[in-house]
Amino acid sequence: MVRAGLTAERLTQAGAELADEVGFDAVTLSALARRFDVQVASLYSHVRNSQDLKVRIALLALAELADRAAAALAGRAGKDALAAFADVYRDYARTHPGRYAAARLRLGPEAAAASAGGRHAQLMRAILRGYDLTGPDQTHAVRLLGSVFHGYVSLELAGGFSHSAPDSQESWERIVDALDSLLRNWPEPTP
């Protein structure tokens, strides 16, 4: 008999909350079963295994992040759009560190196609159109921005900037300024 109230969506949400509390790597079906005070076997009616749960959490995180980014970008262009996107990315990682880690999960082709990952790329490419970047330059810029945002956020979450001045926020703002300048003056490829 299926335990009343348990659904794949409810387990995914609880798994995402657990990831934020204890870390994405610590999310297991056993930990989730304890949260609902049920046997692990009760969860198998809703999720196949721990990997299935983690993929569901990743899909949830990607969708949440895309929704927030789309709302923040509405009506913005240029540096204003770049800063809004960057801030959404950073704020989400700081507020939901476990979900942020889940969003980095490598997905299989089917899950990736069903994910909001494509929306993330579209949003970032929309920002870059404001800088007149197209084709391969746009792809290079997407990779640059993703690397900078992820690198900064990862170091910040690990406490890497908490022991020195200036404040991390000031550095973040300077980085966004530098990225804006670079995107406006995108270098030609060297022969």
Interhelix angle 135-157/117-129, nearest 10 degrees = 120
- pLDDT tens-digit readout, 76-94: 999 999 999 999 999 999 9
Query: Which residues of the chain fall short of a pLDDT of 50?
Result: 1-2
Would you state the pLDDT for residue 4? 56
Would you state the pLDDT for residue 14? 96
Exposed, middle or buried, 151 (CB in 10 Å: 0-12/13-18/19+)? Answer: exposed
Would you state the pLDDT for residue 189? 80
Q: Tell me the C-alpha distance between 81 and 95, whole Å.
A: 21
Q: Is the Cβ–Cβ distance between 45 and 6 less than 8 Å?
A: yes
Would you state the pLDDT for residue 89? 96
